[in-house]
Amino acid sequence: MADLARHTLVYFAPKAWAPLIAPDEPALLRSWAADGRPAIARRILCDDGDAIALGVPLPPALGKRRVALRCAPEAVVRTTPPPLLRDAAAAAPRAWQMTIAALLLCDPKMRCFGSLAWQHLTGLDYLTDTSDIDLILECADPATADARAAKIESVDAAAPMRIDAELVAPDGAAVQWREWRSDADQLLAKSPAAARLVDRTALFA
């Protein structure tokens, strides 16, 4: 449980959620679990110990602050991956719809996180005029990563928003599509525990 994949959604029973929240936090956050909303797995820090490392990004109206939490594994009711882009698309602005349709041609099973995912999951206002679209594409090998990054680059050229997409190797290491499209020999790969530079040739080894 402590090694949850990045962006995993974690749901709690309301009675398990309440002790995690400081009394001075917004009422919206205190009722978060009761309203059926999840937290998200975050990068593990040294002082997290054996607890599950979690976060909740508050909407822009509450300062867009990220609240860091930790809890015991037994407090978790269920976990799910982040939503599929095709499911979250209805929460996106009309101006994004053609871009989303083009992205789904690249990988119908791509998932999303960030502002679009949170607006879809909560019904709250997360998207603004400057929001990016944050995507996750699982890639089995370098050839798949090459093809999907090239497609994203072609869509990005005419997109009304910035496209931030993570290409995820089978072991869970994730690299940004722009880095993969570069000619760099070493790439910044993110995992649940850390972000580190890895050799391009080792990412899908």
**Catalytic residue selected from 47, 48, 125, 134:** 134
Catalytic, 125? Answer no
**Catalytic residue selected from 48, 132, 146, 164:** 132
Q: What is the DSSP string of 96-115?
A: GHHHHHHHHHH-TT-EEEHH
Please list, in sequence order, all residues whose beta carbon lies within 8 angstroms of the beta carbon of residue 31, skipping any fewer than 6 positions away.
none
Output DSSP code: residue 18. G
Distances (CA, A) of 61 to 26, 92, 148: 11, 18, 35
Catalytic, 50? Answer no
Quick check: 72 and 1 in contact, CB under 8 A? no
Residues annotated as catalytic are 132, 134
